Structure 1
Amino acid sequence: MLRRVVDKARHAIALRELEALLIGRTLTARETEGQWNLISDGEAYIHAWSWRLVGDNHIVVASEDHEHRFGLPKPINAVEKFNTALGGEPVARVEVSSITGDLAILFSGGIRLEIPTRSSGYESWSVGRKEDFSTLFVGANGGFL
């Protein structure tokens, strides 16, 4: 059952539940018709409208880069760049802004996956369980549900 997380104590409890699903797991990207699924090697998946991987002082790749050339010999394959950049690194930490609902996932190798909330009214990401496709968390303006 989804519930809006409205206070700091409930935010902390929900964050611990989210961490339990993701910490120690790896993520693999898949794109289908402009929608992104980040699949864990555990029981969870993340559905995101947009994301970016941030390394040391730069953006490694972003979902919006997918299939754009940017003057390169061939278009960027953001799926390949995502999966190569993470190289099987496990999730080390999870953060959710209680103000914006932005999701940040930090990997043991230092790369940070940022999934920003892009709307004041619509959700920008969700985390669910692969076995039954149930939605457990939804990122939205003001935190998460």
Structure 2
Amino acid sequence: MKLFATQSKTDTFADELEDWFVSSSVRLRRGAEGQWRIDVGADWTIRTNQWRLIGAKSIVVTSEDDGHQLGLPAPIDAEAKANETADGLRISAVSLDARTGDLTISFDNGFSLQVHTWSSAFETWQLYRNGEFYGAVGNEGLR
């Protein structure tokens, strides 16, 4: 079932995301022109421009950190740092804010991966299953 539809589907979509994602692993991949892929399990891909990985006490790394040295000995490789941190973790919960379209993927160790909506009109992230477009999420949820 394709979910590209009206905002009224947002609550159902959030429940389905959790069903689809729980127990899966994630892998982040840097794409072209600032685009990122978040592979969830073997079938699902989220495409977004911005994300952040939150640890137990602070932000571990964000897409905005990528390539910046920030006073460190070498520039941050956000892809490598996120994947090293998430290696072996399994998704324990998924939440989608129906007002904003913000997505939070929670892991079994208390860490979380967040994809936020950064525009009032732009669809900030898109979901694909085996390469097939499922839906886009922006302000006010599923579109």
Both proteins in one fold, TM over 0.5: yes
Please give the alpha-carbon distance, in whole angstroms, between the structure 2 residues aligned to 1:54 and 1:116.
13
Structure 2 partner of 1:141: 139
Contact kept in structure 2, 1:46 and 1:128, CA below 8 Å: yes
Please give the alpha-carbon distance, in whole angstroms, between the structure 1 residues aligned to 2:13 and 2:100.
15
- Secondary structure in 1 matching 2:50: coil
Structure 2 partner of 1:47: 47
Return 5+ residue gaps in structure 2 as ranges.
Answer: none
Please give the alpha-carbon distance, in whole angstroms, between the structure 2 residues aligned to 1:137 and 1:26.
21
Q: CA deviation at 1:21?
A: 2.0
Select between 41-50 and 57-66 the one with higher mean Cα deviation. 41-50
User: Where has structure 1 moved over 6 Å in runs of 4 or more?
Assistant: none
Q: CA deviation at 1:102?
A: 0.5
Q: CA deviation at 1:42?
A: 2.5
Residue deviations 1:5-58 (CA, integer Å, cap 9, x gap): 23xxx4332112212221110010100231100112221111111000111221
Return 5+ residue gaps in structure 1 as ranges.
Answer: none
Structure 2 partner of 1:4: 6
Contact kept in structure 1, 2:21 and 2:41, CA below 8 Å: no
Structure 2 partner of 1:73: 73
Amino acid at match of 1:142: E
Amino acid at match of 2:90: P
- Secondary structure in 2 matching 1:127: strand
Please give the alpha-carbon distance, in whole angstroms, between the structure 1 residues aligned to 2:19 and 2:135.
13
Please give the alpha-carbon distance, in whole angstroms, between the structure 2 residues aligned to 1:138 and 1:108.
26
Amino acid at match of 1:137: G
Percentage identity across paired residues of the two chains: 32
The count of aligned residue pairs is 140
User: What aligned pairs does 1:101-140 form with structure 2 within 5 A after superposition?
Assistant: 101-130=101-130, 133-140=131-138
Please give the alpha-carbon distance, in whole angstroms, between the structure 2 residues aligned to 1:35 and 1:12.
26
Amino acid at match of 2:31: T
Amino acid at match of 1:139: V
- Secondary structure in 2 matching 1:84: helix
Contact kept in structure 2, 1:123 and 1:139, CA below 8 Å: yes
Please give the alpha-carbon distance, in whole angstroms, between the structure 1 residues aligned to 2:55 and 2:110.
7
- Secondary structure in 2 matching 1:14: helix
Q: CA deviation at 1:3?
A: 0.4
TM-score (structure 1 length as normaliser):
0.91
**Aligned-CA RMSD value:** 1.2
Structure 2 partner of 1:86: 86
Structure 2 partner of 1:96: 96
